[in-house]
Structure 1
Amino acid sequence: MAADIVDPVSMVNDTGKSSRKKPRKGVRPLADLIGATLDPICARRGFGSASLLSWWPDIVGPDYESSTYPESVHWPKRHDQRGADAAPAVLTVRVLPSQALFFQHEIPQVLERVNQFLGYQAIGRVRIIQGQFTLARPKARAQNRPLTEAEAENLEARLADIGEADLQSSLKRLGAAILTGK
């Protein structure tokens, strides 16, 4: 059996451009690579994508960023399905027991912020679940080594001609960070 041979001319669409996507060259943002992996996991919990989870601290503000966590979104049946109603989705939020009463009073503002984030009135109700949870904490950064005397003298000599003190101090910090490998 002969293999199908694709003619490059047949890959051209009506506008005269090739319909084949070219691979992206260079460095790709980490979000592009991780997003495709996380989206199916988030979809099982009702989130359309991981964006609501990653922006949650900005949505609820500094008072509730460490004491609340969005668990899931329960979407109602679609209108074209039998038994569907026009009810909006329900957002389930896990809240530390000590903050649950305070958070309950903030629900109207949280609903407004979530719907503003999503771009339409998607969420109509917030369901609170009291309980403990652990958030992933960022690892502590490794300390950079100090500049050697020769590096510090070299940096001072290069920046001696700069007259503006603010610019000179900023460039010193930048130079020190580059030289120490930060």
Structure 2
Amino acid sequence: MNAEARESFARFVAERSNSLMRLAYVLAGDQHGAEDLLQSALARTAARWRHVQENPEAYVRRAMYNEQVNRWRRRRRESAVAVPPETSVGDRSDEVDLRLALDRALLVLPPRKRAVLVLRYFEDLPEGQVAEILGCSVGTVRSQSHKAIARLREIVPELAVRLETVEGAR
């Protein structure tokens, strides 16, 4: 990579790293995993910078998604049943309890449905862009989103009212 490309890549990382870290955190489920995921995706992006610099964010997002799916697959092979540990939140506010319940519920969703929700609602991307990142049709994004929200309603019933509000606003 020449000096101009290095500078361009460094500028991209400086401008977009916070947003990309948020996505990595939601995909990975913890800070350490998010840092590893983002670092891996940025290393891939740097290696291919000449080819992807026109739309590097889409490339990084796709690289993070692919890497996280591979991690989920490896974990699935290692452990047939992965149940997230119960988290005691004690006397925290209802909002914190609900957020923790949502975080646990997201970890239960299959990788594809989780990625659709993360990109669509956490990253607030339009359906077309989510479809492009995940390599599927807009109809598939809509279907996966609907099924994932229905599953979240089953897992965490107290989310039902809030999810209806979010789903109705889309």
Common fold by TM > 0.5: no
TM superposition score category, shorter chain reference: under 0.3
Structure of greater relative contact order (alpha carbons < 8 Å, 6+ residues apart): 2
Q: TM-score, with normalisation over the residues of structure 2? A: 0.23
Q: Rg: which structure is higher?
A: 1
Higher share of residues assigned strand: 1
